[in-house]
Structure 1
Amino acid sequence: MPFDHPRPGHGPGDPGAHDLRHHGDSEVADGLLDFAVNVIGDGPPAWLRDRLAATLDGLGRYPRADHDAQAREVAAARHGRTPDEVLPLAGSAEGFSLLPALRPRLAVVVHPGFTEPEAALRASDVDVVRVHTDAADGHALHPAAVPDRADLVVIGNPTNPTGVLHPADTVRALARPDRVLVVDEAFADAIPGEPESLAGNGDVPGLLVLRSLTKTWALAGLRAGYALGAPALLARLARPRPPWPVSTPALEAIIACCEPDALSAADQRARELAAHRVSMTSALESIEGVAVSHGVAPYLLLHLPDGTGHEVRRLLRAAGITIRRGDTFPGLGPDHVRVAVRPPELARRLAEELELALRTLVVPA
């Protein structure tokens, strides 16, 4: 059965079975080749560094209202929205932390998926039901599997860690007049042309789209992103925020990364990533016992031979490589791992070390 409707706190839905607060950065250390974190590159490009550096002289002042307004205007123009349909955020993770402010009675989170939304909801004692996709049908989304009574639904598109890009019409089918539909599009700009995005769909009832600048522009340490939705919905989401929640450099990052030249550069990066993903998939699939989930995101979900996951990660770490464990994602197990897409020369090293690790661990019958 492709979907599972566990009751909150029971069986596969038991939050204690997974560390929902675990993220790839906790597996990274100096000197390790990083395949655990999905950030593209080691830092922002020079032109973006210069834009951010130019804000430093103004850090003695609180973030300005006109700077916030400009960020809303530029992001709105980028998605064909109006400025009052944009809410600048300190990273899309801030948007997830604000979801309890919507006061849902029953939230559904589609898994395997990014775990921070569920962690934030559970921390505020919101009832959460997990709806699981199934590897047997490519982790496809089936809207009918979501309980009708759910008044908040969270899904990633593309989904982390499966890399699946769900058709926009299928995601849109989850919307209801009395429901908030949260679509995490943190990796949308890492796909050429941003197909299936709902960011520009202001006519979908209850739609809340979260966008991140972290991945494509290597801004994980800055925390910059934004939410898109109806003004009344954004006002509800923002109600518990403190004053000045988004820093001056982060507001400048939103402006800079939503301008036409940046969008063109992002699309070029996405095309390069797509080519790297194809070659990396081929290299990893050639290793006996490794199954690669086919997706379109800047990361790959691998299923390793039964019982090898923990030791493979240990051996790779000893060889100077870190990858992301998969068993913290509901619906996945200890033999799942996620690896970021990297250039061919780095991907070859991962493939070589992974094959060596599996030869060490798997004894032929």
Structure 2
Amino acid sequence: MPARTGSARLPAPPAAPPPEPDLRHHGDAEVRGADGALTDLAVNVRTGTPPAWLKARIAASLDTLAAYPDGRAARRAVAARHGLPVERVLLTSGAAEAFVLLARAVRARRPVVVHPQFTEPEAALRDAGHEVGRVLLDARDGFRLDPAAVPEDADLVVVGNPTNPTSVLHPADVLARLARPGRTLVVDEAFMDAVPGEREALAGRTDLPGLVVLRSLTKTWGLAGLRIGYVLADPDTVAALERAQPLWPVSSPALAAAEACSAPGALAEAAAAAGQIAADRDHLLARLAAFGQIRTVAPAAGPFVLLRLPGADEVRAALRTRGFAVRRGDTFPGLGPDWLRLAVRDRATTDRFAAALDDVLDEALT
């Protein structure tokens, strides 16, 4: 037998799959324990909130704490705000509770979540025992949604509008094309009240089969610690979700906030805030455009901006040493370590951040 003159080439081992994103990581983790030492660009709650008048309404409700919560007035106020009968409204302990209720109460054989987006819907579905499919939108076309990308047999579809973290606002008619008999279409509109005119909103629509719209009052009004949101859906779906709730799920102070924030004066204040957010976002995008290595997702419609930057993980850590907390992007399916999300703040804060970012990037090049 002739002698072998070389070693056999072994097949290369298969590439390791990328790590699964941490669906339970949220922006508050970036600032937890900082005790105010960091300028918060990681959490999408509007600064300077809740306003004094809302604090007063909530404080006044404390005199009723001996009684069990009665949500009827708040439910009527939310229904009137959207021009709906009360049977189509369910008040929840923040929008996050609504995702848990949907995962438990809606029977779905093939649930699908459109990503990148808020990760709690998928986490809730998985916790309830569902196998969850993902539709990953592509950065190359601005994370735009093509309804044809959603599987025909998907009987539960979850999509955000405007989407967290991309800040993309999907056209209402595109989302409406996803609705069909036998499918539950969940549209998370937690940030829609930060969009001037709430253009592209589906809240208030009753003509689309299976439509469920989620709203949150925690972002615009600074009530993340109070927990208040609501579901808008057909009466049968509302009843099924309500049966999955514990008794008295929304506290009396949160109910007082829901009623107050649905009043005409509050809606006018929110509309003015949305206009200011849009102007401040334009300023942020303009400052980011001065950095050649940064690419932002545009047009942006939410109170936050998504950007891509090589070495973003190291930049995020360096910004923290300069007093700024930003949201990492690699915990969102479809993104990776080169992505960051920035909350929109006032111009002075943005200018301070841009100066710090300039210093960080200069140091990285030297």
TM-score band, normalised by shorter chain: over 0.9
The structural deviation recorded for 1:285 is: 1.3
Matched residue, 2:204 = 200
RMSD: 1.2
**Unaligned residue ranges in structure 1 (runs of 5+):** 1-10
SS in 2 for 1:312: helix
| 1:17 match: secondary structure | coil
Alpha-carbon distance between aligned partners in 2 of 1:235 and 1:286, rounded to the nearest angstrom: 52
Show the 5 A alignment for 1:245-324: 245-294=249-298, 295-305=300-310, 308-324=311-327
- Cα deviation, residue 42, structure 1: 4.1
| 1:218-237 superposed matches below 5 A | 218-237=222-241
Q: Tell me, yes or no, if the aligned pair for 1:162 and 1:293 is still in contact at 8 Å.
A: yes
Q: Does 1:38 align with 2:55?
A: no
1:338 aligns with 2:358: no
Map of 1:354 onto structure 2: 357
- Pairing partner for 1:72 from 70, 75, 81: 75
**For 2:28, which of 20, 25, 29 is the aligned residue?**
25
Name the CA distance, whole Å, in 1 between partners of 2:338 and 2:169.
23
Deviations 1:222-268 (A, max 9, x none): 00111000010111222221100010011111110011000000000
Compute the displacement of 1:103 (Å): 2.1
CA distance in 2, matches of 1:240, 1:225: 16
Matched, 1:209 2:206: no
Secondary structure of 2:154 counterpart: coil
In the comparison of the two structures, how many residue pairs are matched?
346
8 Å contact 1:72–1:84 — kept in the other structure? no
1:284 deviates by 1.0
Tell me which amino acid in the other structure corresponds to 2:339.
Answer: H
Unaligned runs of 5+ in 2: 1-15
Q: Deviation digits for residues 148-182 of structure 1, max 9, x if unmatched?
A: 11110000000000000000000011111100000
The one-letter code matched in structure 1 to 2:28 is D
Cα distance in 2 for residues equivalent to 1:88 and 1:164 = 26
Give 2:5's aligned residue: none
Question: Could you tell me which of 63, 70, 73 is aligned with 2:69?
Answer: 63
Residue 102 of structure 1 corresponds to 106
The structure with more radius of gyration: 2
Deviations 1:67-112 (A, max 9, x none): x111111111111111110001110011011122212111110000
Distance in 2 of aligned mates of 1:123 and 1:227: 20
- Matching residue within 32, 54, 59 for 1:48: 54
Q: TM-score when scaled to structure 1? A: 0.93
Establish whether residue 165 from structure 1 lines up as the match of residue 169 from structure 2.
yes
* Cα distance in 2 for residues equivalent to 1:70 and 1:57: 17
